[in-house]
DNA sequence: AAAATAGTGTCTCTTAGACACTATTCC
DNA sequence: GGAATAGTGTCTAAGAGACACTATTTT
């Protein structure tokens, strides 16, 4: 592996051994009124760690292709889903001696929200044999995941649910134009609970979150005003959570 | 996963080149009613990047010594300050081609809050020639910092200030026992603005944040009840920010 | 008593939540 | 008109902010 020895006094000292560096992306979308995450199945070849197990989308940093960590995450997202402009946020990093049998490794984890209409068929890539959208239930996912990805996915879901209480993140799960009812529904799917219509609308409309477009969504009932996000990629923060819990 | 590998088909494929892995820690404390961050001065030896510049405390991950990233951060904190049990939170990671002249590198950044009374003289360590507590003004620090540490420090300060609005973080900047006035003062130092006494006390006492100890702080005036944190290492989250801004 | 800080009470304003009401479309 | 969903108005409760007030110590 890596060397570039240190040891001469007064010379630049670099570590003899470098951890493995990967980037993983927890890619979320909504399908059939459920929150889903993209899983890829690991290669079955002998010598590969966690053969056949499901894992988050990800892989090694490529120091030639990738300008930086975020570009690496975007590349992986693009390779798996074809989506190029998602909501992408860094979740954190997990690194240590024993999370990968191949040695000391660090994964740099992002989470992405992609619109319902973009969540088409995921493609499998190198070192993987398949990919699928897995529904998320109350406490995560049914599959046992490779490496420490279960823990990472739990962290991602927790971050998402927490942030939804005071930000506009669910808007990034919707297509470009949506009604307020659809936005509310998106919140309800992620939060796993109903919200009150009047308060929801007051709150959303009192911010710089959305702006109406001159179109309506037609249906077997009264047409609904369509809106779009005011700024396409940065979320809005509210000053309160949706429902204060007990102190 | 990714290849660029040892190239035998059907064999474990590892990347030929691995990024450099470092851990940096933004260590904050309060001294003389100012928020301070610990800076270390980089070595002046030829070949060292950013010679003589000030930087956040940090250094390479040591795959032999460090069990995981957090242990590495704790080690660096201990080496610089002697503090063993701080408030420690992962801030994020910064990685890319060009942030370090030695090549593609990733730094894994933590921020730590240490109590006023623990913030004694910092020691300098390997590859550094000095260390100091640098006061933080409105927009950061006067020094130009090495690498991308200025950007990282800005992110750390932003995270701290944001989180202070709705968490109990400033409590970790105080000694074990403190009065409510001292706690309020700690908030005011970090936030850079005054808070209203009555609302502050109501808010703090309505949570599980602190518990009184059977002692008072004496002075040339009415003695004040002393409190300590209920749980020593996990912050409390409030349901609202301190001061709602304009929608 | 004066100085100084600790700690409380009261009033107002904002906003979430509950819930009932009205509005507009398709059938 | 009925079904269905869009969208509004009204009332209440909780908590923040402002601010004045009381309390308890030292000097």
- Give the Cα separation of B23 and B73 in Å (integer): 6
- By C-alpha distance, which of B88, B22, B86, B91 is closest to B60? B22
pLDDT tens track for A91-139: 999 999 999 999 999 999 999 999 987 666 666 555 566 889 999 998 8
Question: What's residue A247's pLDDT?
Answer: 23
Structure tokens at B63: 């795959």
Over residues A167-186, the pLDDT tens digits come to 899 999 999 999 999 999 99
Query: What is the rounded distance in angstroms from the CA atom of residue A193 to the CA atom of residue A188?
Result: 5
pLDDT at B6: 40
Residues B64-77 have pLDDT tens digits of 999 999 999 999 99
Q: What is the pLDDT of residue A245?
A: 31
Among residues B239, B137, B152, the alpha carbon closest in space to that of B190 is found at B137
Residues A95, A19: contact at Cβ < 8 Å?
yes
Q: Is the dihedral of CA B187, B168, B136, B122 positive or negative?
A: positive
**Smallest CA–CA distance from A237 into chain B, residue:** B247
Mean pLDDT, rounded, of chain A: 86
Per-residue confidence (pLDDT) for residue B237, from 0 to 100: 82
pLDDT in tens, B157-183: 999 998 998 889 999 999 999 999 999
Q: What is the pLDDT of residue A102?
A: 92
Note the pLDDT tens digit of each residue in A22-47: 999 999 999 999 999 999 999 888 77
Dmax over CA atoms of chain A, in Å, equals 79
Q: Which nucleotides of C are covered by protein (CB under 7 A)?
A: 3-10, 14-20, 23-27
Contacts of B162 (CB under 8 A, 6+ apart): none
> Is nucleic acid strand C under 7 Å from A240's C-beta?
yes
Query: What was the pLDDT predicted at B240?
Result: 65
Quickly state the pLDDT bin for A3 (edges 50, 70, 90): very low
Element (H, E) at B54: strand B54-60
> How far, in Å, CA of A18 to CA of B62, rounded?
8
A245 touches strand C (CB under 7 A): no
B83 to chain A, closest Cα gap in Å? 22
As given in the structure block, the two tokens for residue A166 are 């005071």
Confidence band, pLDDT 50/70/90 cuts, at residue B47: confident
pLDDT at B246: 29
| Residue A8 confidence (pLDDT) above 60 | no
Q: Which of A7, A21, A52, A240 to probe the B interface (max B CBs under 10 A)?
A: A21
* C-alpha to C-alpha distances, A74 to A36, A108, B2, B117, B119, nearest whole angstrom: 19, 12, 15, 45, 41
CA B244, C1' D6: Å apart? Answer: 30
pLDDT in tens, B185-243: 999 999 988 999 999 999 999 888 899 999 999 989 999 999 999 887 788 887 766 54
Tokens coding B141: 């620090």
Q: pLDDT tens across A57-81, in order?
A: 999 999 999 999 999 999 999 998 8
Q: Residue B243, CB, less than 7 Å from strand D? A: yes
């Amino acid at each position: 592996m890596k060397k570039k020895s240190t040891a001469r006094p007064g010379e630049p000292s670099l570590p003899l051994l470098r951890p493995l560096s990967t980037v993983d992306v927890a890619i979320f979308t909504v399908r059939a009124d459920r929150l889903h995450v993209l899983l890829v199945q690991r290669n079955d070849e002998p010598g590969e760690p966690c053969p056949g197990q499901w894992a988050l989308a990800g892989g090694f940093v490529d120091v030639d292709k990738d300008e930086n960590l975020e570009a690496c995450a975007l590349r992986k997202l693009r390779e798996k889903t074809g989506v190029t402009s998602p909501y992408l946020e860094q979740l954190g990093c997990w690194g240590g001696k024993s999370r990968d049998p191949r040695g000391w490794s660090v994964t740099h984890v992002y989470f992405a929200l992609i619109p319902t209409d973009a969540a088409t068929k995921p493609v499998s890539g190198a070192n993987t044999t398949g990919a699928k959208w897995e529904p998320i239930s109350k406490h995560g996912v049914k599959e046992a995941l490779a490496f420490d990805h279960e823990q990472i996915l739990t962290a991602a879901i927790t971050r998402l649910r927490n942030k939804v209480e005071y930000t506009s993140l669910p808007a990034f799960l919707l297509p470009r134009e949506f009604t307020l009812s659809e936005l509310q529904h998106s919140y309800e799917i992620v939060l796993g609970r109903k919200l009150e219509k009047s308060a929801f609308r007051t709150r959303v409309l009192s911010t710089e979150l959305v702006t109406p477009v001159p179109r309506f969504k037609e249906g077997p009932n009264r047409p609904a005003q369509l809106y779009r996000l005011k700024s396409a990629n940065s979320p809005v923060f509210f000053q309160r959570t949706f429902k204060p819990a007990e102190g």
